Amino acid sequence: MTTNVSHGEHHHSHHFDSAEHEYSSDKEGLWLFMVTEILMFGGLFVAYAIFHSIYPEMFSEGASHLDWRMGFINTLVLITSSLTMALGIFYNQQNQPKKAFWNLIATILLGCCFLVIKYLEYSGKFHHGIYPGRFLDMAVVNPVHQNLGLYFGLYFCMTGLHGIHVVIGMSLIGWVAVRTYKGHFNSHYYTPVEGVGIFWHIVDLIWIFLFPLLYLVG
């Protein structure tokens, strides 16, 4: 977010009093941004909740088309990635950039793993004629409820938007990993890592809700 030097005390921007002042401001900005993320996904969750309460049977039919084991594995993958992300910050706080770097790399790899599983799931669905909304192949799927497409409309929107966030998160982690490797961070200055970490945890947090709601509740 700001220019910095590799070693020692981080120089804060001219309009802040101190590095601590800048850090707390950055942190507040980040949390405000997280609120917007929560509210944006929140809109989808509201739509989900409303239609779930209107068409409970249709939703349970939809969930039965999903393989909960895939979602389960992905949940574990993301939780682990959250841990490695947290450790990435932890080791930066401890002035151990090497360890921090490898933890960040592990986070990216876990993110890739998540996406691969997601890709397998998506292609499996497409293979069985399951597309969102009105593109759902009625002849192939032969659903009990005629509006099953709505469930998969929500499914693809929610997981799709989440997937986009995973990709954005991974590139951001890549950016801080490079900077960690170059030794830009230390126990006095690690704001970007912390910020990216908060973003990544939000991505994890959303998945924590998506998994039971889409795969299990039915």
Between CA 85 and CA 97, with CA 8 as vertex, the angle to 5 degrees is 30
Residue type, 158: M
Q: Which is nearer to other proteins, 99 or 112 (CB)?
A: 99
Residue 186 DSSP SS3: strand
Among 101, 108, 176, 204, which residue interacts with other proteins (rule: CB under 8 A)? Answer: 204
Over the window 20 to 59, marking each residue x when it contacts other proteins by CB under 8 A and - when it does not, the resulting string is xx-xxxxxxx-xxxxxxxxxxxxxxxxx-xxx-xxx--x-
Minimum separation from the CB atom of position 134 to other proteins (A):
4
Residue 180 CA to residue 107 CA, distance in Å, equals 14
Determine if 140 is a binding residue for other proteins (CB under 8 A): no
Please name the residue that has the structure tokens 């032969």. 142
Contacts with 24 (C-beta within 8 Å, 6 or more apart), sequence order:
none
Instruction: Candidates 109-117, 120-128, 168-176, 201-209: pick the segment binding other proteins (CB under 8 A).
Output: 201-209
Among 149, 165, 169, 172, indicate the residue that binds other proteins (CB under 8 A): 149
Select the residue interacting with other proteins from 4, 62, 66, 75 (CB under 8 A): 75
Which phi and psi (to 5°) does residue 6 adopt?
-75, -35
